[in-house]
């Protein structure tokens, strides 16, 4: 015989060691060992002795984290890739749960998943991956699992509801023919379900005052998603994902998803979330101008735990505008301001702005003969209205704003603030472009927060594998370590 036996129809018994095939440095093995060392007794205690045997919670957690690590965002993608992905076969020990089981677990144990994120942050700290030097905070707009065309006002919802009611009436009167009775039942059920959703949306909009405001909208796919504009100017139903990132290895120390376009009011909560998860505050906290309001600059100065580097909204634009109020000179003895042309502005009144902040208003004595009055004074939309002399509004918090500007303009301040660009911005690019997370799979604010915690766990584990794989093995091998 010339050749060795070659029969592809011949079946074989094979003893597979998935861990050995994957290797100790593989993603699946690393994730397995991290979750295996984690205390998840809070999940285990919620299972009862009655009923069918449940899947091991550690198996479920490993599968979910691995899914967000690999880009299988959801139960169906995980189940679809099970047969081809050796990592999933290893983590499930070839006893893979149904996609519904995965999705139910993810929602049921939302608090425990958030706790797992905090434990991975502490693991990063033990591995020396958190420097506690610079903490950068920023948000990114991510698409909701919602149709932009399902964002409707009260008028359009009522119009659609009337149309559905007419169709239902025709069905009851047998005015529409169907191929089978089953098709007719399905159509009735679908229309009734849509009608119920529209009635619910109508009530919510009316409670919110939509009778007098056509701008109020309700998204029938995901009611909690809001229309937001991203950096490209594209408007979609989105969520605003907040991140707190340490600059040493870009470890995520805090995450949260909100349903507002603005980042305002998120600076202190994100800084506190990072401190809670990582166990210590950072020396510096950096954020962009979208985070602070006027009063926060005073609060930042009073916070002894960290040094803030946060610009105000007009810091950069005022440099190019010679006649911006920040370029006016104040004489404390006379309580007057002088514009760049030397015109005196005197105090006229104390007022409140639309946000309730008090300010002192100063007005120029005479701008009539000023050669640059057109550049300095605001033009009135009413052509017949007389243009008043230049006024400026001065807030009690302006002193804190000025001191923050001075700090940011210093040599050290510029150097520190530049760190933000290379810390949190690359994280957004990595998540969306490299990992493919451009849209939430789940719906509702509570559920998208679950997703983002899982994404944060996967991100930090990826950093561990890239930078501290050997140290991790050593740490996991010690008896003292429990995540």
Q: Residue 465's pLDDT is what?
A: 94
Kindly state the tokens that stand for 191: 């229309």
Please choose, from the candidates 45, 46, 85, the residue with its C-alpha nearest in 3D space to the C-alpha of residue 63: 85
Please choose, from the candidates 227, 238, 236, the residue with its C-alpha nearest in 3D space to the C-alpha of residue 440: 238
The single-letter DSSP state of residue 367 is: -
* DSSP assignment of 203-229: HHHHHTTGGG-TT--EESS-TT-EEEE
Task: Give the whole-angstrom CA distance, residue 226 versus residue 221.
Answer: 11
φ/ψ of 147, rounded to 5, equals: -90, 125
* DSSP assignment of 6-72: --TT--------HHHHH-TTSHHHHHHHHHHTS--HHHHTT--SSSSPPPPHHHHHHHHHHHHHHT-
- Check the CA dihedral 428-430-436-442 and report its sign: negative
- Check the CA dihedral 64-69-74-79 and report its sign: negative
Task: Give the whole-angstrom CA distance, residue 164 versus residue 185.
Answer: 15
> Mind listing the pLDDT tens digit for each residue in 417-443?
999 989 998 999 899 988 899 999 999
How far the first Cα of the chain sits from its last, in Å, is: 60
Q: Residue 482's pLDDT is what?
A: 52
* Mean pLDDT for all residues in the chain: 88
> Mind listing the pLDDT tens digit for each residue in 209-256?
777 777 777 788 888 888 888 777 777 889 999 999 999 999 999 999
* Cβ–Cβ under 8 Å, residues 296 and 274: no
CA angle 371, 377, 380 (to 5 degrees): 125
Q: Residue 480's pLDDT is what?
A: 44
> Mind listing the pLDDT tens digit for each residue in 261-320?
899 889 999 999 999 999 999 999 999 998 998 889 999 999 999 999 999 988 888 887
φ/ψ of 272, rounded to 5, equals: -70, -35
Kindly state the tokens that stand for 453: 């915690």
* DSSP assignment of 165-205: HHHHHHHHTT-S--SSHHHHHHHHHHHHHHHHHHHHHHHHH
Task: Give the whole-angstrom CA distance, residue 446 versus residue 454.
Answer: 13
The single-letter DSSP state of residue 280 is: S
Name residue 243's beta-bridge partners: 138, 255
* Cβ–Cβ under 8 Å, residues 453 and 114: yes
b/e burial code for range 60-70 (CB count within 10 A of at least 16 → b): bbbbbbbbbbb
Kindly state the tokens that stand for 437: 């997370």
Q: For residue 156, give Cα distances in angstroms to 70, 194, 202.
A: 41, 14, 10
Q: Which residues of the chain have pLDDT under 50?
A: 479-481
Task: Give the whole-angstrom CA distance, residue 226 versus residue 259.
Answer: 6
3-state secondary structure of 476: helix
Q: Residue 32's pLDDT is what?
A: 95
φ/ψ of 43, rounded to 5, equals: -80, -45
- Which pTM does this prediction carry? 0.87
Please choose, from the candidates 458, 360, 482, the residue with its C-alpha nearest in 3D space to the C-alpha of residue 27: 458
Task: Give the whole-angstrom CA distance, residue 64 versus residue 455.
Answer: 10
3-state secondary structure of 317: helix
* Cβ–Cβ under 8 Å, residues 333 and 327: no
Q: Residue 97's pLDDT is what?
A: 93
Name residue 284's beta-bridge partners: 134, 307
Q: Residue 59's pLDDT is what?
A: 94
């Amino acid at each position: 015989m010339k050749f060795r036996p070659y029969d592809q129809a011949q079946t074989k018994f094979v003893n597979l060691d998935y861990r050995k095939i994957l290797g100790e440095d593989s993603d699946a093995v690393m994730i397995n060992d991290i979750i295996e060392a984690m205390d998840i007794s809070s999940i285990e205690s919620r299972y009862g002795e009655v009923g069918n045997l449940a899947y091991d919670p550690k198996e479920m957690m490993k599968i979910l984290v691995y899914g967000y690590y690999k880009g299988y965002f959801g139960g169906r993608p995980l189940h679809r890739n099970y047969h081809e992905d050796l990592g999933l076969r290893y983590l499930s020990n070839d006893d893979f749960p149904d996609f519904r089981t995965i999705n139910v677990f993810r929602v049921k144990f939302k608090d425990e998943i958030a706790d797992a994120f905090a434990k991975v942050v502490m693991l990063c700290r033990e591995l020396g991956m958190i420097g506690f030097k610079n903490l950068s905070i920023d948000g990114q707009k991510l698409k909701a699992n919602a149709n932009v065309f399902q964002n409707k006002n009260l008028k359009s919802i009522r119009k659609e509801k009337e149309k559905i009611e007419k169709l239902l009436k025709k069905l009851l009167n047998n005015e529409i023919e169907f191929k089978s009775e089953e098709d007719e039942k399905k159509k009735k059920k679908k229309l009734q379900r849509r009608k119920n959703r529209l009635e619910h949306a109508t009530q919510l909009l009316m409670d919110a005052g939509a009778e007098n405001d056509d701008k109020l909208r309700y998204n029938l796919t995901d009611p909690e998603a809001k229309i937001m504009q991203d950096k490209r100017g594209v408007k979609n139903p989105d969520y605003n994902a907040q991140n707190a990132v340490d600059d040493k290895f870009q470890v995520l120390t805090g995450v949260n998803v909100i349903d507002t376009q603005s980042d305002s009011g998120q600076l202190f909560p994100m800084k506190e979330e990072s401190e809670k998860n990582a166990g210590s505050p950072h020396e510096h906290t950096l954020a962009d101008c979208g985070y602070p309001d006027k009063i926060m600059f005073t609060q930042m100065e009073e916070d002894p735990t960290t040094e803030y580097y946060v610009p105000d909204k007009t810091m950069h634009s005022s440099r190019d505008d010679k006649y911006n109020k920040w370029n006016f000179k104040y004489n404390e003895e006379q309580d007057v301001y002088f514009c760049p042309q030397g015109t005196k502005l005197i105090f006229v009144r104390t007022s409140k702005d639309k946000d309730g902040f008090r300010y002192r208003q100063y007005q120029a004595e005479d701008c009539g003969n000023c050669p640059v009055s057109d550049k300095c004074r605001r033009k009135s939309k009413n052509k017949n209205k007389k243009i008043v002399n230049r006024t400026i509004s001065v807030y009690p918090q302006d002193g804190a704003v000025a001191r923050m500007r001075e700090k940011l303009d210093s040599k050290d301040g510029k150097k520190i603030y530049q760190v933000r660009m290379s810390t949190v911005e690359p994280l957004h690019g990595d998540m969306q472009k490299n990992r493919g997370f451009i849209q939430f799979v789940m719906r509702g604010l509570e559920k998208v927060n679950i997703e983002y915690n899982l994404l944060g766990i996967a991100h930090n584990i990826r950093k561990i594998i890239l930078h501290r794989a050997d140290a991790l093995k050593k740490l996991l091998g010690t008896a003292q370590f429990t995540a």
